[in-house]
Chains A and B, each alone.
Chain A
Amino acid sequence: MLEVKALSKTFTSDGVHYTALRDVDLRIEKGECIAIVGKSGSGKSTLMHLLACLDMPTAGQVFVEGSETSKLPEHAKNKLRNEKFGFVFQQFFLNGRETVFENVVLPMRIRGANRTVISSDAAEALNSVGMDDKSHKKAKDLSGGEKQRVCIARALIGRPQVIFADEPTGNLDSQTGATVENILLELNKNKGITLVVVTHDDDLAQRCDRVIEMKDGRIISDRRRGENGI
């Protein structure tokens, strides 16, 4: 599904170079549930951004379903992200003044979908996160757990093949965090959506099938459940 080869990323600001990724190779199969862990500055977020075609690598290649994406023009990458990927962020990035419905349907609006398609898909997405009764509430009036469920619905509505979750439980207490984890893992199990989670949270990482550990821009371990003592 996703593959990176000899991937490097160097950031330059004010003439200072900082290498976030060094020569990383990784292959993620369809339907996998994979956690990328590591301390802050280890390059895990950068890796996710490159996998998700949100950023350009300095060197190396990114493949989505076998085709190289780093050479695609911007509009093609936009279309790819919109149609194949879903995103869940630690800070939610909901528009508080808008309703839950409007927040959830944003990817579909960007896609230019029909009104009828949008509302039926929204109902389905909200239903799968258990938020269908709050669709007309303003996003700012929700609790943290509810907000993150709305974000998952937003990631889900476009029927993506991969959901990228950047610290999805980072802003939640352990109980609501667990609910959000359950929803994400169920989506992976039941709908076969590939799940790429970037997290500090060991509990969440341990629930994934595969854990990639990063340090100083390199992958230092790649363990599957049942191997190497997970």
Chain B
Amino acid sequence: MKFWDLIRIANRNLFRNKLRTFLTVAAIFVGSFTLTMTNGLGDGVRAYIESQVKNVESDRVILVRRKIELPPSERDSLAAQEYNDGDDPGVNFDPNSIIVTLRQMEAAVKGLDGVKSVTPRYNMMGEYITLDGAKKYKVMLGMISEGITTKTEAGTSINGPGQLVLPFELAKTLDPKIENLVGKTATVAFKTKDDELKIMPLKVVGIATKGLMTNVATFVDSTTAQQIHALQIAESDTDKFTGFTVQMESADAAKIAAVKQALAEKGFEGDTFADTQERIYDAIGIFKMGMGLVAAIALLAASFGIINTLVIAVLERTKEIGLQKALGMGRGKIFAIFSLESVLIGFWGALLGTLGGIAVGVIANRILIAAYAESFEGFTLFVFTLPSILTVMIIVSAIAFFAGVLPAIRASRLNPIESLRYE
């Protein structure tokens, strides 16, 4: 018997009992639909976050902060603690414990292989920014350490002292043709520790790309940041920071790992951008797995529907199977017909489920864009990729196949004479 004949027979058998087939397919549809939607949502969130985190990137910078070791008694501080008169009140966390001094920073990286430079994390408070001196805008200042690049809509990332990258929305307000801003000089104003307004001219080298990570702060280089920081912070505190960045000479993974290890031994925690991204992707992965589990349960329930449908079909068609066997059809072919029936149920359910999921996803995306386009620039809630759709279809068809194995084996093992006599 030809394979095509087997498929044709399987298909006709399914059409014999349309309602039953439809109901079984519907159960598979629900599972596939759920799986498609959760996959689409996971991929959408991942793509968005990926595009966001990649707006600020470096393959050779380690962000370092002090490792905070809580005293043993504080570790399980979630448990209610009884208060006795004379006890230390409240939380015993010392904010100074996160402070790193310049000397500590230099000692931490001293002698480490492959380190190119170290930059403290300077905090700044901006007052306003202006292009022509007439129209002023509020400004939030951020620092870009050496070795870190930001994606830009126009111009380049910061690569030297006295430079500035404008956030997209601010740039558009200053000049709708943002390209014109590149190369111009902007004036940034800030207050010193003596409450004196100071201004500083900086060269606009780029306009940050759209997105949440880059659209809040106006970025300046570390030299500029150091100057502003020195003017704003009391003399006694200018060498105190909340962390620092280490720039490596190259993206050599082994050297980066060695530096992180050495820092850890000295009581610091270092993360590369890749580490941060990995943590975020892990979180998305767990979210996707959790959602996938819901779909898996739906599919499991549906596969019992397939088993039930086929077991009944085997009983109904016992005589027919007996005849086919008497006329020389082998066990393998009988097995194949029933397996194909279950795979076809799975296939149709998966096809309709994914198509339904995509349709609902596309509509949801449209509604979302219409409602929240401003705040989620570039965010597509459901992203459907061909590999993920094919994966869903293959997984569902495979589940259906396995559900069909038991009834198909039952059918293939029927004795022809007994089957022909079956009432």
- Please report A residues at the B interface, Cβ cutoff 8 Å: 49, 52, 54-55, 74-75, 78-83, 87, 89, 91, 93, 95, 97-98, 106-107, 109-112
Contacts and interface: CB of A to CB of B under 8 A. Distances in A.
Nearest to B6: A109
25 contacts: A49-B417, A54-B416, A55-B417, A75-B330, A78-B325, A80-B328, A81-B328, A82-B328, A83-B328, A89-B323, A89-B420, A91-B420, A93-B319, A93-B420, A95-B320, A97-B16, A106-B323, A106-B327, A109-B1, A109-B5, A110-B1, A110-B333, A111-B1, A112-B1, A112-B5
B2 interface: yes
Given A93-B320, A95-B320, A112-B2, A107 B420 contact: no
Given A55-B417, A112-B1, A87 B327 contact: yes
Interface of B: 1-2, 5, 12, 16, 319-320, 322-331, 333, 416-417, 420
Smallest CB-CB A-B distances: 3 pairs: A82-B328, A78-B328, A93-B323
A54 B418 CA distance: 10
Contacts of A111: 1, 328
B241 to A, nearest CB: 80
Given A54-B417, A111-B1, A112-B5, 18 more contacts: A52-B326, A55-B417, A74-B330, A74-B331, A79-B328, A82-B327, A82-B329, A83-B328, A91-B420, A93-B323, A106-B323, A106-B324, A109-B1, A109-B2, A110-B324, A110-B328, A110-B329, A110-B333
Contacts of A97: 16
A89 B322 CA distance: 12
Contacts of B328: 78-83, 107, 110-111
Contacts of B331: 74
Contacts of B327: 81-82, 87, 106-107, 110
A49 B417 CA distance: 8
A93 B322 CA distance: 9
B423 to A, nearest CB: 10
Contacts, number: 55
Contacts of B319: 91, 93
B5 A87 contact: no
A206 to B, nearest CB: 27
Contacts of B324: 106, 110
A82 B326 CA distance: 8
Nearest to A97: B16
A200 B59 CA distance: 92
A83 B2 CA distance: 16
Q: Which of B16, B327, B420 has the most CB of A within 10 A?
A: B327
Contacts of A107: 327-328
Given A49-B417, A110-B333, A54 B2 contact: no
Contacts of A89: 323, 420
A54 B16 contact: no
A97 B15 CA distance: 11
Contact of B326 (A87, A98, A109): A87
B326 A81 contact: yes
A82 B416 CA distance: 14
A91 to B, nearest CB: 8
Q: Which of B12, B322, B328, B417 has the most CB of A within 10 A?
A: B328
A110 B323 CA distance: 11
B329 A78 contact: yes
Nearest to A46: B417
A109 B328 CA distance: 10
A91 B325 CA distance: 16
A147 B73 CA distance: 90
B265 to A, nearest CB: 71
